[in-house]
Amino acid sequence: MIKAIRGTRDILPPETGLWNFVESAVRDVFRAYNFQEIRTPIFESTELFARGVGEETDIVSKEMYTWEDRGRAESDKGQSLTLRPEATAGIVRAYIEHKLWDRGLNKLYLIGPMFRRERPQKGRYRQFYQIDAEVIGPPSSGSDSAARDAEVIEMLATLLDRLGITGWNLQLNSVGCPNDRDQFNAALRKALEPVVAKMCVDCQRRAVTNPLRVFDCKVPEDEPIIEKLPRISQFLDEPCRKHFEEVQEILKSVGVPFILNDRLVRGLDYYTRTAFEFTHGALGAQNAILGGGRYDGLSESLGGPPAPGIGFAIGEDRLVMSLQEAAESVMKKPDVYVAPLGAGMNRDAARLARELRRHDLIVDLGDENFRLKKSFEAATRAGAKYILIVGENEVKADAFALKNLATGAQVSVPRGELAQRIQETL
């Protein structure tokens, strides 16, 4: 048997109902903040991600699906392509390619699959889905304003509330500008030097490869040491500190609760200043439901003009996982099940179903070979509110037996009144 490959999966009904529920809530909420949809290719030049996400990140160095695409002719050179591992780089590429700065401030969102070759586990797949949004534009459009950071974060709080996700946590930090981070890194290395030998093996490795990651350590014995390490907050320059304070002021003003966490570091190289993460307890080790931050230098590093931006990515798989509601409750059920009864009745049933569907009713249709009992069972299983019997007697009278499956009430309704009759009691 041919099976879905490692780390990929089929999402089947009724679970797809939950996905649709999430996505339509997302579109509703984002619309209220004047975000518009963008769709970018699923594969891009490898170079885009190498430069955008950062050569040194895990994503680029070991998790990308990359292949050499062949040239069109013998003499033509192929090029290295990569399935997108995240959305921001592609969106910024499109921003540069289509000179979107002409439009001033761009508020864009994208929903779609991303690809990373990681070891799968719960809430982590090799093809996974992200809901991504970006605010990006020339500095003159106010794209670097703390107001945008706060707006984006507040929008996310609204979305989670709207979806009925309770118990989320917002963690907030500023990772400063690149200059701040260089100084901080240097200070961190210096501070680690005398104490690193006493720390866990993971931390000893991190101290060399990526000192920031020491803050992620979960070993209790290392905690006293980590407590005394310098923090990024001590290295923010004046503009960065001001910016971060304003983000916090606005969030307080609109009533979005947050927890300052100066250990929060994000895994992609391009992040600057505001960094945030929403977590949810029900997700196990993969508790990050969404993460985001500011990337003021990304456009330039991709060869574009200055275009400060802030964005986030929601892990849609994880978001769906943390929903309380069962898929059942958000699924749309048929309004009516049309049950043809007896030879030749398929034709009349099809005509009736067509009429009812044109009235925006959800209509399921049986088969004339079914015995009535079977039609009733099928209608009940589909969750239909009504069953409409199309038999010889009904066709002759041009009035049809309409039965409410919940109450058992049954009436004979003339053809012309059917749609209205079904609609008015929904």
- Residues lying near RNA in the complex (CB under 7 A): 5-8, 57-59, 86, 116, 118-125, 128, 130, 202, 206, 210, 213, 216-218, 266-268, 277, 284-291, 313-315, 317-318, 341-342, 371-374, 376-377, 379-381, 389, 391-394, 401, 403, 405-406, 408, 410
386 forms bridges with which residues in the sheet?
336, 404
Query: How many CB atoms are located within 10 Å of the residue 373 CB?
Result: 8
Q: CA of 186: how far to CAs of 182, 230, 305, in Å?
A: 6, 10, 29
Tell me whether residue 291 or residue 334 sits nearer to RNA (CB atom).
291
- State the nearest-atom distance from the C-beta of 298 to RNA, in Å: 13
Q: What minimum distance in Å lies between the beta carbon of 162 and RNA?
A: 18
Question: SS3 for 405?
Answer: coil
Alpha carbon 108 to its chain centroid, in Å, reads 13
Minimum distance from CB of 6 to RNA (Å)? 3
Q: Which is nearer to RNA, 147 or 208 (CB)?
A: 208
For RNA, give the closer residue by CB, 10 or 238: 10
Q: CA 310, CA 272: separation in Å to the nearest integer?
A: 9
Cβ nearer to RNA, comparing 202 with 355: 202
CA distances from 240 to 94, 176, 179, 258 (A): 28, 6, 11, 19
Cβ burial of 137 (10 Å; 0-12, 13-18, 19+) is buried
- In a 3-state reduction of DSSP, which class is residue 122? coil
Q: Shortest Cβ distance from residue 424 to RNA (Å)?
A: 19
Cβ at position 354, least distance to RNA in Å: 21
| Nearest to RNA of 245, 367 (CB atom) | 367
**Distance of closest approach, residue 10 Cβ to RNA, in angstroms:** 11
Inter-residue long-range contacts of 64-70, CB under 8 Å, 24+ positions, other chains counted: 64/115, 64/116, 64/117, 65/115, 65/116, 65/117
Closest CA to 282 of 324, 329, 336: 324
- What is the closest distance, in whole angstroms, from the C-beta atom of residue 178 to RNA in the complex? 17
| Residue for token pair 């879905």 | 4
Identify the burial level of 328 via C-beta atoms within 10 angstroms of its C-beta, where 0-12 means exposed, 13-18 middle and 19 or more buried.
exposed
Cβ distance to RNA smaller for residue 314 or 338? 314
